[in-house]
Amino acid sequence: MAYRSGSLAAGLLAVVIADLALAEDAAPPDVSPTPVANRVIQDWSGTYFGFALATPRGDNTWRQASDGLELVPGDWNGSAMVVSLGHSWQSDRLTYGAQISFGSGQYSADPTSATFISCAACSTTASDLLRLTGRFGFATGQTHFFANGGLAKANVTATNLFGLLVVADQSMTGWTAGLGVEQRIGENLSLSVSYDHADLGTLDLPTYLPTGQTEVNIDLMQVGMNVRW
């Protein structure tokens, strides 16, 4: 019985020694993390043409600069079809370029009478907004985030007495800036949403009041599509 137990122990020892030898010769397991496939960066470079519907935000008022009296502000309303042409360059995820856009339409605001200052159906109208901007962006997958800024120009008209009296009518130049995002929906097509601010400066209204003025500032929400080639 003792002989059989000794033989069994010797056999088990031999198996253990053999297993240890095999373990030393075996290659260590690969514990490095599985690489994650990089997200494809779309090419946003090249020339593009865009069109969008722009609707205004914010308000406009008239005031007498000498004493600070001002009318009750009226909200901007109206819309414009905006066409744009631009070109972008791309370095890895960063994009940069320039764009010119023109809004065919008009935005109007109708401030109303207030205490100690009044008008008869006053109206401020900005039309044919032209913008020349630089543009910088960041591409991630199918999405392109961008910011822009540059020059803005529009025709601005102020009227009183139900539109019968033109208080001022001139071309005004200022600045514009905005943020937006594009989403690729095809090889050359993308949807675009942006929010822009245009500051055209101060328009004097001397035939309304000797020190009459209005600040022409318009925020624009734009939704449209771009085509690249």
Q: Enumerate the domain spans of the chain.
A: 46-228
Phi, psi of 141 (to 5 degrees): 60, -125
Beta strands in 31-186 (DSSP E): 46-57, 59-60, 62-64, 74-75, 77-91, 94-109, 123-140, 143-160, 165-184
Host H or E run for residue 217: strand 212-228
The predicted structure's pLDDT at residue 22: 44
Closest CA relative to residue 200, chosen from 221, 178, 217, 212? 217
Structure tokens at 56: 């205004």
**How far is the CA of 197 from the CAs of 24, 45, 48, 102, 146, in angstroms?**
71, 25, 22, 15, 15
pLDDT one digit per residue (tens) for the chain, 229 residues: 444 444 444 443 454 354 444 445 544 555 555 444 446 788 999 999 999 999 999 999 999 999 999 999 999 999 999 999 999 999 999 999 999 999 999 999 999 999 999 999 999 999 999 999 999 999 998 999 999 999 999 999 999 998 899 999 999 999 999 999 999 999 899 999 999 999 999 999 999 999 999 999 999 999 999 999 8
- What does the alpha-carbon distance between residue 159 and residue 125 come to, in Å, rounded to a whole number? 9
The predicted structure's pLDDT at residue 16: 38
Listed in sequence order, the residues at least 6 apart from 27 whose beta carbon sits closer than 8 Å to its beta carbon are none
Q: Which residues pair with 180 in a beta bridge?
A: 146, 194
The predicted structure's pLDDT at residue 30: 55
- What does the alpha-carbon distance between residue 36 and residue 206 come to, in Å, rounded to a whole number? 67
The predicted structure's pLDDT at residue 54: 98
Does the structural domain 46-228 have CATH classification 2.40.160.20? yes
Host H or E run for residue 2: helix 2-25
- What does the alpha-carbon distance between residue 225 and residue 191 come to, in Å, rounded to a whole number? 5
- What does the alpha-carbon distance between residue 214 and residue 108 come to, in Å, rounded to a whole number? 13
Q: What is the four-CA torsion angle of 73, 109, 158, 224, rounded to 10 degrees?
A: 140
The predicted structure's pLDDT at residue 41: 82
Closest CA relative to residue 122, chosen from 26, 208, 64, 27? 208
pTM: 0.80
By DSSP bridging, strand 212-228 and strand 46-57 are: antiparallel
Q: Which residues pair with 217 in a beta bridge?
A: 199
Q: Which residues pair with 184 in a beta bridge?
A: 190
